């Protein structure tokens, strides 16, 4: 069994592995382009036109346009790269983590201060079955 198969069934998790890196290469390179002020300005001026310069899938482009952070990860985005979009929008990493978790920023911060997300329901289904 390839090592990646061991974590494929963790609910809501998209592990950035070699498969995701290949799938999301152009999405992530777009994100990295936002490190310069000139590119951020061009993106904000006409997001669709800027995205169309990149050979991404339509699903990848749409996930960026609607700021569907979880979908970006599902489509090969790396959280550290996609956070460049958030920074361009004036959002902090904590703000997008809260959005991705479906809670307020305060509730997310409180959850992290209390030790993070509960383990129940957030483990590999296959590994959980083995423990019986």
Looking up residue 18, the CATH number of its domain turns out to be 1.10.700.10
Kindly state whether residue 4 falls inside one of the protein's structural domains: no
- State the chain's mean pLDDT as an integer: 88
Kindly state whether residue 46 falls inside one of the protein's structural domains: yes
Q: 3-state SS of the chain: helix, strand, coil percent to 5?
A: 65, 0, 35
The string of pLDDT tens digits covering residues 10-58 is 766 788 888 899 999 999 999 999 999 999 999 999 999 999 999 999 9
How many whole angstroms separate alpha carbon 36 and alpha carbon 113?
A: 34
Kindly state whether residue 102 falls inside one of the protein's structural domains: yes
- Position 1 scores a pLDDT of 40
Region 57-84: mean pLDDT is 96
The string of pLDDT tens digits covering residues 85-128 is 999 999 999 999 999 889 999 998 998 898 887 766 666 666 65
Kindly state whether residue 27 falls inside one of the protein's structural domains: yes
Domain range holding 86? Answer: 11-131
Overall domain count for the chain = 1
Residues 6+ apart with CB under 8 A from 45: none
């Amino acid at each position: 069994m390839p090592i990646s198969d061991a974590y494929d069934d963790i609910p809501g998790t998209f592990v950035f592995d070699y498969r995701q890196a290949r799938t999301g290469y152009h999405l992530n390179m777009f994100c990295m382009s936002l490190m310069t002020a000139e590119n951020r300005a061009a993106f904000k001026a006409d997001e669709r036109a800027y995205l169309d310069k990149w050979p991404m899938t339509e699903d990848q482009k749409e996930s960026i346009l609607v700021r569907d952070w979880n979908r970006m990860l599902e489509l090969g985005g790396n959280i550290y790269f996609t956070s460049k979009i958030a920074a361009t929008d004036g959002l902090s990493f904590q703000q997008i983590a809260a959005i991705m978790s479906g809670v307020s920023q305060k509730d997310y911060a409180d959850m992290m201060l209390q030790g993070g997300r509960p383990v129940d329901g957030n483990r590999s289904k296959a590994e959980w079955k083995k423990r019986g």
